[in-house]
Amino acid sequence: MGGVIVVFICVIGAIVWGVLAGKKRRDEMTLLAEKLGLSFHHERDYNLAGRYSFLDKLDQGSNRYAYNILGGEYRGRSIAAFDYHYETHSTDSKGRRQTHHHHFSFFILTLEKCFPELTITKEGFFSKIAQAVGYDDIDFESHEFSKKFVVRSKDKKFAYDFCNARMIEYLLGHPNINIEIDQNQLAVGYDRCLKVDEVESHLDRLVDLRALMPNYLFED
């Protein structure tokens, strides 16, 4: 009986802690949005998840939704940044179904034109990349870059244009960046929910990536 009570207290404590931590994050995100001149919505948004489902990182599992959503214009670029959730399921040795919740931060910048799909990732980050893309890694003259990043695209010329010398130098200095371009979206994803005080610097990185794309890519 005593063990049951202890478990019950722990469960209640975890729920209360989760509620308080969620409120603290929302409050901090609200202040950040005001500072950056962006809109902020903390409610779960299932439509946003569907709208960007062509991005591999957002096309996993079930019960997908975005929340704590920042949106608007940042440094002259149209952006969205949000926390994201999806579920996967497994069965334990006793045949019991278990639900696993995945949460991470995601950043999207709208480009001026559409491009073929391109992914630049660390091994194992986008679990569906190999299946979705279905073609080999692209090698570059920089062995260091090829060793640290997996680059895939059906359009190798676009991959080489995007991964120009300045871009390679920038990415080598930011090895935790994982990039996907598809249609007119440039996306950067992470494997966890970033701290609120990290969000602004990662928005800067997103805009920096766009600035490193050659101008001729946007010419008709």
Q: For residue 8, is it within any domain?
A: no
Which residue range is the domain that position 192 belongs to?
39-218
Q: For 82-92, how does the pLDDT look when each residue is reduced to its tens digit (9 = 90+)?
A: 999 999 988 87
So what's the pLDDT on residue 202?
Answer: 95
So what's the pLDDT on residue 91?
Answer: 82
Q: For residue 123, is it within any domain?
A: yes
Query: For residue 182, is it left (φ>0), alpha (ψ between -120 and 50) or beta?
Result: beta
Q: For 119-161, how does the pLDDT look when each residue is reduced to its tens digit (9 = 90+)?
A: 998 865 444 444 445 556 888 888 899 888 999 999 999 999 9
- What are the start-end ranges of the E strands in 122-205? 150-153, 178-189
Give the Å distances, CA to CA, from 16 to 12, 41, 79.
6, 22, 33
Q: For residue 170, is it within any domain?
A: yes
Q: Chain centroid to CA 177: how far?
A: 9
Give the Å distances, CA to CA, from 13 to 20, 26, 53, 103, 140.
11, 20, 35, 21, 51
Q: For residue 83, is it within any domain?
A: yes
Q: For residue 15, is it within any domain?
A: no
Q: For residue 11, is it within any domain?
A: no
Beta strand 178-189 with 150-153 is unpaired
Q: For residue 25, is it within any domain?
A: no
Q: For residue 7, is it within any domain?
A: no
**Per-residue model confidence as pLDDT tens for the chain (220 residues):** 555 454 444 445 444 334 445 689 999 999 999 999 999 999 999 998 888 888 888 888 899 999 999 999 999 999 999 999 999 988 877 777 888 899 999 999 999 999 999 999 886 544 444 444 555 688 888 889 988 899 999 999 999 999 999 999 999 998 888 999 999 999 999 889 999 999 999 999 999 999 999 999 998 7
**Tokens 């630049």 correspond to what residue?**
120
Give the Å distances, CA to CA, from 33 to 24, 29, 39, 55, 61.
14, 6, 6, 25, 29
- Among residues 191, 59, 65, the alpha carbon closest in space to that of 121 is found at 191
So what's the pLDDT on residue 21?
Answer: 52
- Distance separating alpha carbons of residues 196 and 198, to the nearest angstrom: 5
- Distance separating alpha carbons of residues 137 and 122, to the nearest angstrom: 12
Overall domain count for the chain: 1
